[in-house]
Amino acid sequence: MVRIGYTMMTEQAGPRELVEHVVRAEEAGFDFSVTSDHYFPWLSEQGHSPYAWSVLGAAAQATSRIPLMTYVTCPTMRYHPAVVAQKAATMQLLSGGRFRLGLGSGENLNEHVVGGGWPPVDVRHRMLEEAVEIIRALFEGGHVNHRGEHFDVESARLWDLPDQPPPLGIAVSGKRSCALAGRLADLVIATEPKPELLEAFDRHGGEGKPRVGQLPVCHDPDRDAAVKRAHAQFRWFGNGWKVNSELPHPDAFASATQFVRPDDVAASIPCGSDPDDFVEAVRPYAEAGFTEVALVQIGGESQPAFLDWSARTLLLRKAFG
């Protein structure tokens, strides 16, 4: 049975609201939750981008059951990997062992803010691999010294370590990232239901490990209103990650999607209130081999109604039982 998760989308709600939403998601019966980690929203229409790690700490204290996870954190530019290790260990303690650390090679949209340019993808992958090495070393305890191609660590130690470090996930979109994840990750993360991604992950050591997908949805009793909102806030999603990782600013995303029509968005994102449409949108992930799928309800103000509807109608357990 595919486990169904809830996404705290930091780009579309403020910090207090995000915590309120994940509390309601726990009450509604979602199996897990994930949190985006952005400095900018994708589009200005989304209107938010609070600091994800503060939100996660508050969520850990406001909830008691639902697992938490970054989806995903880039541990190479905005954050030094030694700092990511400290944040993740602290989150694992605050949550009582409910945290998973999702990592990725990043997007220019968020990482450009610290300067230094935007490296090509092969360099980003080498940076991610080195960052994972540092994070894992710090999770083991003791002092860590590291002199690498991209990072230095000077006698670092995590003084507050959980008994079990958080599982580490890596986001994939192609052959190189799948090979990296297969070798280094405890779980794999992807936003497209492509079986070839999971097959490549398995070939490089990922067989039997969890695989977590993500799916945008737009619930609304008025389907036309849902389509309009999905187009306004999520028309960027169809660009694909090779494009999305390179664009530097919400204005660039607006320009790149200026010719995307509402019907184009509705063809790829389930809109409205028919649970069968949502079930059918999840099905490709299940058939590809994903063990978990986190839903992204589009629109910050629409979260309470979506969560109430999910508790009454959706939660896909019967459909996938």
Q: Catalytic site residues?
A: 38, 107
Q: What are phi and psi of 9, to 5 degrees?
A: -90, 100
Distance CA 252, CA 109 (A): 9
Which residues lie below 8 Å from residue 152, measured CB to CB, with a gap of 6+? 146
Q: Is 260 exposed, middle or buried (0-12, 13-18, 19+ CB in 10 A)?
A: middle
Which residues lie below 8 Å from residue 184, measured CB to CB, with a gap of 6+? 129, 132, 168, 170
Report which of 114, 116, 119, 89 is spatially closest to residue 101, judged by C-alpha positions. Answer: 89
Query: Is the bond leading into 113 cis (omega within 30 degrees of zero)?
Result: no
